[in-house]
Amino acid sequence: MIYFLVFGGISIFYILLLTFKILDYPSGNEKTTELSSIIQTGAKSFLFQEYKIFFPVVIVISLLISTTFNFEAGVALIIGSLFSVLSGYIGMSIATKANARTAWAATKNMGEALKVSFSGGAIMGLTVSTLGIIGLSITYYLTNNITLISFYSLGASLVALFARVGGGIYTKAADVGADIVGKTEANLPEDDPRNPAVIADNVGDNVGDVAGMGADLYESYVGSIFSALALGTFYYKEAGFTSVIFITIFGLISSILGITFTLLKSKDSTNPAKTLRAGTIFASILTLLLTLVYSIYISWISIFFVVFSGITVGVLIGLVTEWYTSGKKIIKLAKTATMGPANVIISGTALGMESTFIITTFISLAVILSYKLLGLFGVALSGVGMLSTIGISLSVDAYGPIADNAGGIAQMAGLDPQVRNITDALDAVGNTTAAMGKGFAIGSAALTALALFSNFSNIADSDSVLITNPYLFLGGLIGAMLPFFFSALTMHAVGNAADEMVNEIRRQLKEIPGILTGQNKPDYQKCIQIATKGALKRMVVPSLLAVFSPVIIYFLFGTTGIAGLLIGATVSGVMLAIFMANSGGAWDNAKKYIEEGHFGGKGSLAHKATVVGDTVGDPYKDTSGPSINILIKLMAITSIVLITVIRGL
Amino acid sequence: MIYFLVFGGISIFYILLLTFKILDYPSGNEKTTELSSIIQTGAKSFLFQEYKIFFPVVIVISLLISTTFNFEAGVALIIGSLFSVLSGYIGMSIATKANARTAWAATKNMGEALKVSFSGGAIMGLTVSTLGIIGLSITYYLTNNITLISFYSLGASLVALFARVGGGIYTKAADVGADIVGKTEANLPEDDPRNPAVIADNVGDNVGDVAGMGADLYESYVGSIFSALALGTFYYKEAGFTSVIFITIFGLISSILGITFTLLKSKDSTNPAKTLRAGTIFASILTLLLTLVYSIYISWISIFFVVFSGITVGVLIGLVTEWYTSGKKIIKLAKTATMGPANVIISGTALGMESTFIITTFISLAVILSYKLLGLFGVALSGVGMLSTIGISLSVDAYGPIADNAGGIAQMAGLDPQVRNITDALDAVGNTTAAMGKGFAIGSAALTALALFSNFSNIADSDSVLITNPYLFLGGLIGAMLPFFFSALTMHAVGNAADEMVNEIRRQLKEIPGILTGQNKPDYQKCIQIATKGALKRMVVPSLLAVFSPVIIYFLFGTTGIAGLLIGATVSGVMLAIFMANSGGAWDNAKKYIEEGHFGGKGSLAHKATVVGDTVGDPYKDTSGPSINILIKLMAITSIVLITVIRGL
């Protein structure tokens, strides 16, 4: 595990280099700098207020564990949450600095803007993977016990829960609120500085899509590595353990080289989508090559095939997501919009539900292959393979909101329309990468949950779990209900928080004269505060549900009940998340397709129908859907920790 | 089991009596008689064409089973499908005769109309329960083997599949098609005879809500009795077996008396909802009393508590459904409609998803109690308890479409507006009972699936199913995907079939002059044919999926895979079905609430928004949602049959 520290150190060096390069870049004129700084302050203020709720919870849980079970376990929990918080904070800070710089770079050319925005995303991607393994190895050296890494993983999960749910509610409440009053009632264009919620909307992109997504993948990354380490050691001793370490490092190295490759290529890039894809594929192939060499060297070729299955399924899920949210499928969906909003909702719902079929098939194939080759360890290792290149895949993902923010800043600062064209082009690519990123996040959550479940079933006394015990089925029923109930809570939360935002925007437009004429500035801070408070307040109930349901089920139905609960929650949660993400993505893109002038273009009935679809899709794809990822992983890790605590070490 | 034949015979006598009474009733003037006869011909023609597809399939499967496994098993399959088909056919025939008679009775008063329509529904309710147990006992005497009753149950499941999926597509394609062109484009009111699809719409109510629902509950009834008989005999020998028989008969007797009670009460009824509720509660309490006496007599008081839990959970699910689809919840939903269609879709979706929580809790409580008292037999017996009074609960359910049809006939035949007021009042009650019936159908499907699963786990070599085998999880993942994919298929089917209908209506309005002025009659038959063909064609793929997926999974993943598949499909299917049924019901009633004049009334923006919600809800609640019930039960019974065939008797 010393390799984690060595290569983690190298990666930190690279991150610092990249950070200085970004900071060296001019942040533009006074206006862009000021806007960027307002967004940054808003985003940081949200995080700090989130921490105020979050840390007391973590400290209480940690104290409880330290005093009643094991001191090191409590410390591991703290380390897990601290390192995840830290990586989210660093990544988001840089992202909110990169936005204005991207806007300014766009005054030069597309390649320059791509370079700056991708650099910003790369900080997030690399920080997550680097701090993920450094924290893990510190925990390992401190506790000297693989089992206790589960507490580190639990810490990361708790951060992810708060970041995803809180960030998801924030981003959509601001977005929907800004749209309802701004676009519909006051007839303002997108990102217009006269809209009081415009900054809150930009802050939302950062706290939701950067910090939230980062914490989500941090959790998956750490959870899958932990599972693979534990199962690898259990079934294959030293060889299993070492392989996991090496594959993780291959992925990290490949990500760094892939990022460098992308940055070199992006300078003269005219096709950002192609450049980003080339970098990702480069990193994936490099990881596979390194794994191949390694597996031949240690004469354990199965390792290669398992990692191959994981990486391939990650890529395939991305492609399926793209297939369902672009091209022919979208044109067909846009066509149904000509018949009205109900038709576009039904067709989009059917589309999202249909997409579960292929994705499930791919995941199943990867699991079958991995299990046939290496048993339960294979299942976990395939997850590690899929997540190994998270350094670059999360970079591509985090680049999107930076480009989106840059566009907003360009618009608000009144930069040349040509600048906006460039940022729009980058943003469009960002939308596709965001949709693919969501697919990847769900797929990785599914594999991580399966890996954690394998770990759980290995720890739990599996003989005591029989299918003739109906508590397995009943646990499954309750588990399957949770993602639905959880989604209802988060959807209600977005709706209510958006209502508060709408009222505030209306109040400002009414009470502060001269906002619409541009003579007076609206009170941006007030809107940011409302989104922050609204999100944090409504984050608590769903979070408690996720943390305590396994505990309650254990005391009601024992180990069998928990096994059922995990299976039920994961399988129904994954389907619901895929459905919501892809329906949402498809509606979003169908709207954009019509806005390009098809089927009557902007303002037509078809356009209005797709606006309805897009609005419905917003909480689907950006709040409820992604929150389910966390729910299922958190329940799995909580169950492992619970069983560990109850059975003792 | 001789009691089944004796009391079945008594019940048949009562059914005949009721039938003659209905047929004796005048079917009105020439116009109402003609309309009723067109609807009847259309509905029968659909059923016969469905049989043409269905019987070859059943005969092939039956021959396969007879020749390769066991002759009697093949015969049992045929009996199961024949008896289910027969009860659907009889029930629907009378329902389509009762519609005009109800319209005519409404020219007198509300009580008379209630009596006739409820009598029509009662034929369906009693035929299903009576033929269900008569067929079951014939099968038992023929095979002399409880295990082979599973083949009888499979036969019933296959009928249910075709009836529910085909009927569900038919009814919504006709409904949506008629609404889109008729109401929106040609500005015709509901049930206007100038709308070419108006008769097809009325036919749809019968094939979907009468025949489809009947086959669905027939399957649940037979499946739960079979499971309870098998598990009862396995764990408690003769005592278990006899108890199941007695409780079933108590339910049948209570239903007959409850129906008589309702009919006596309905004559002077001014509040149909109250009268119907009184009858149902009467039957439930009577069943409980008889069971209490019986269980004291045989000194086995647990029996009573288990049946009590089943009946209570059935009633509670109905109440929860009512709570989520009426009153305060609906007013709140209607209020969000003032903000536009997107808001009403999001709120309605959240409402449906939220409703899974309480229903799951109630089902869980019933299962826990039953399992604690009587083990796996208790779980199955609780399902029998819930379904024991199906005779009256299905009667209440089937009464709805008859009242609905009566309203349509009154409108088309130009009867006095006062008549329409009465049928509207009956129809409104029918909508509520339909929503509650859907909840009951889902709840009973869940309990039946659990009972069948208990049976499956008892037959399967349960030691070989370990949670450390990831095929359990993987089977669960694939199982959970199926209801989503299945729903996508059925939603697409409705959309495409509705498109065909829309084109035909447009063609007729264009090519046949004088339809809109009422000078010429539209070609009703053509629309009926299109709906029939459209539904039957699109029924095949989803049906194959349901039948063959357990077989494929068995050969890929063995018993463990099937166990996972059944758990995954049931738990995610139940949640999806509850969500779809309650969201759909809530949108429907929110629309009606606004149409009563709230939030701007008909024609307001809020009304338009709820029309969007209602249209989305149509395939949710009437096609995709109900079809899931069948999917999960059919997969369970297929798995049992498969394991039986493979392991031998």
For residues A213 and A88, the answer to whether their CB atoms sit within 8 Å is no
Q: How far apart are CA A606 and CA A592, in angstroms?
A: 11
Per-residue pLDDT, A542: 85
Alpha carbon distances (Å) from A263 to A60, A113, A266, B300: 44, 11, 5, 77
Tokens of B291: 């069971």
Q: Residue A243 above 80 pLDDT?
A: yes
Which among B360, B371, B446 has CB closest to A478?
Answer: B360
Per-residue pLDDT, B617: 94
Per-residue pLDDT, A424: 87
Please report, as a single letter, which amino acid is at residue A320: V
Angle at B219 between CA B215 and CA B223, to 5 degrees: 170
Q: List CB contacts (< 8 A) between A446 and chain B.
A: 477
Q: Residue B71 above 80 pLDDT?
A: yes
Per-residue pLDDT, B190: 79
Alpha carbon distances (Å) from B78 to A132, A649, B65, B66, B641: 61, 58, 11, 11, 14
For residues A113 and A102, the answer to whether their CB atoms sit within 8 Å is yes
Select from A41, A128, A137 the least CA-distant residue to A88.
A128
Q: Is B512 on the interface with A (CB under 8 A)?
A: no
Q: Tell me A189's DSSP state.
A: P
Give kind and range of the element (H or E) at residue A541. Answer: helix A524-595
Alpha carbon distances (Å) from B148 to B28, B137, B151, B161: 48, 12, 6, 20
The arithmetic mean of pLDDT across residues A396-407, rounded, is: 93
Instruction: Give the pLDDT confidence of A294-326 residue by residue, as tens digits.
Output: 999 999 999 999 999 999 999 999 999 989 998
Select from B30, B100, B11, B641 the least CA-distant residue to B423.
B100
Mean pLDDT computed over every residue of chain B? 92
Which residues make Cβ contacts (< 8 Å) with residue B526, sequence separation at least 6?
B196, B504, B508
Question: Residues of A499-530 as b/e, b for ≥16 C-beta within 10 angstroms?
Answer: bbbbebbbebbeeeeebbeeeeebbbebbbbb
Tokens of B506: 């447009």
Classify residue A568 as exposed, middle or buried by CB count within 10 Å of its CB (0-12, 13-18, 19+).
buried
Instruction: Give the pLDDT confidence of A170-201 residue by residue, as tens digits.
Output: 999 898 888 878 777 778 887 888 888 889 99
What is the SS3 assignment for A300? coil
Instruction: Give the pLDDT confidence of B289-334 residue by residue, as tens digits.
Output: 999 999 999 999 999 999 999 999 999 999 999 899 988 999 999 9
For residues B432 and B277, the answer to whether their CB atoms sit within 8 Å is no
The arithmetic mean of pLDDT across residues A65-79, rounded, is: 94
Q: Is A617 on the interface with B (CB under 8 A)?
A: no
Q: Tell me B151's DSSP state.
A: H
Q: Is A612 on the interface with B (CB under 8 A)?
A: yes
Q: Is A476 on the interface with B (CB under 8 A)?
A: yes
Distance from CA of A456 to the nearest CA of B (A): 9
The arithmetic mean of pLDDT across residues A226-240, rounded, is: 95
**Closest chain A residue by Cα to residue B614:** A342
Please report, as a single letter, which amino acid is at residue A418: Q
The arithmetic mean of pLDDT across residues A427-442, rounded, is: 86
Q: How far apart are CA A44 and CA A51, in angstroms?
A: 10
For residues A267 and A111, the answer to whether their CB atoms sit within 8 Å is yes
Q: Residue B110 above 70 pLDDT?
A: yes
Q: Is A498 on the interface with B (CB under 8 A)?
A: no
**Closest chain B residue by Cα to residue A351:** B488
Per-residue pLDDT, A464: 66
Angle between helices A149-177 and A110-143 (to 10 degrees): 150
Per-residue pLDDT, B519: 86
Contact between chains at B368 and A495 (C-beta distance less than 8 A): no
Instruction: Select the highest-mean-pLDDT range: B46-50, B224-228, B450-454, B535-539.
Output: B224-228
Q: Residue B639 above 90 pLDDT?
A: yes
Per-residue pLDDT, A567: 95
For residues B631 and B444, the answer to whether their CB atoms sit within 8 Å is no
Q: List CB contacts (< 8 A) between B470 and chain A.
A: 367, 371, 376, 379, 450, 454
Kindly write down the DSSP assignment for every residue of A128-139, as one continuous string: HHHHHHHHHHHH
Which among A467, A479, A571 has CB closest to B477?
Answer: A571
Instruction: Give the pLDDT confidence of B389-425 residue by residue, as tens digits.
Output: 999 999 999 999 999 999 999 989 989 989 998 998 8
Per-residue pLDDT, B464: 66
Categorize the per-residue pLDDT at A646 as very low, low, confident or very high, splitting at 50, 70 and 90: confident
Select from B174, B46, B39, B86 the least CA-distant residue to B622.
B174
Instruction: Give the pLDDT confidence of B359-386 residue by residue, as tens digits.
Output: 999 999 999 999 999 999 999 999 999 9
Distance from CA of B24 to the nearest CA of A (A): 45
Alpha carbon distances (Å) from A214 to A92, A206, B539, B577: 9, 10, 44, 34
Categorize the per-residue pLDDT at B463 as very low, low, confident or very high, splitting at 50, 70 and 90: low
The arithmetic mean of pLDDT across residues B528-546, rounded, is: 86
Question: What's the full length of chain A, in residues?
Answer: 649
Contact between chains at A346 and B484 (C-beta distance less than 8 A): no
Categorize the per-residue pLDDT at B649 as very low, low, confident or very high, splitting at 50, 70 and 90: low
For residues A388 and A221, the answer to whether their CB atoms sit within 8 Å is no
Which residues make Cβ contacts (< 8 Å) with residue B374, sequence separation at least 6?
B235, B236, B302, B303, B306, B381
For residues B551 and B634, the answer to whether their CB atoms sit within 8 Å is no
Q: How far apart are CA B383 and CA B376, in angstroms?
A: 11
Q: Is A356 on the interface with B (CB under 8 A)?
A: yes
* Stretch 12-71 of chain A: residues touching chain B, C-beta under 8 Å: none
Q: Residue A512 above 90 pLDDT?
A: no
Per-residue pLDDT, A218: 96
Q: Is A619 on the interface with B (CB under 8 A)?
A: yes
Instruction: Give the pLDDT confidence of B8-25 residue by residue, as tens digits.
Output: 999 999 999 999 999 999
Mean pLDDT computed over every residue of chain A? 92
Q: Residue A83 above 90 pLDDT?
A: yes
Q: In this structure, is the dihedral angle defined by the CA atoms of residues B217, B219, B224 and B225, taken in order, positive or negative?
A: positive
Q: How far apart are CA B439 and CA B317, in angstroms?
A: 6
Q: Is B313 on the interface with A (CB under 8 A)?
A: no
Classify residue B517 as exposed, middle or buried by CB count within 10 Å of its CB (0-12, 13-18, 19+).
exposed
Tokens of B393: 């609960």
Query: 10 Å Cβ neighbour count for B31?
Result: 16
Instruction: Give the pLDDT confidence of A129-166 residue by residue, as tens digits.
Output: 999 999 999 999 999 999 999 999 999 999 999 899 99
Radius of gyration for the alpha carbons in chain A, expressed in angstroms and rounded: 23
Q: Tell me A326's DSSP state.
A: S
Counting residues of chain A whose pLDDT is more than 70, the rounded percentage is 99
**Closest chain A residue by Cα to residue B562:** A467
Query: 10 Å Cβ neighbour count for A31?
Result: 16
Q: How far apart are CA B405 and CA B407, in angstroms?
A: 5
Q: Residue B431 above 90 pLDDT?
A: no
Alpha carbon distances (Å) from B155 to A420, A454, B222, B633: 64, 38, 10, 12
Tokens of A369: 């292959």
What is the SS3 assignment for B563? helix
Alpha carbon distances (Å) from A387 to A253, A402, A523, A625, B418: 13, 23, 42, 20, 69
Rounded (10°) CA dihedral B251, B256, B259, B260: -140
Chains A–B, number of C-beta pairs less than 8 Å apart? 226
Q: Three-state SS across A581-605?
A: HHHHHHHHHHHHHHHCCHHHCCCCH
The arithmetic mean of pLDDT across residues B574-603, rounded, is: 93
Per-residue pLDDT, B539: 84
Distance from CA of B594 to the nearest CA of A (A): 18
Q: Is B616 on the interface with A (CB under 8 A)?
A: yes
- Residue to test with chain A: of B477, B538, B620, B632, most A Cβ within 10 A: B477
Rounded (10°) CA dihedral A227, A231, A236, A242: 20
How high is the ipTM of this complex?
Answer: 0.94
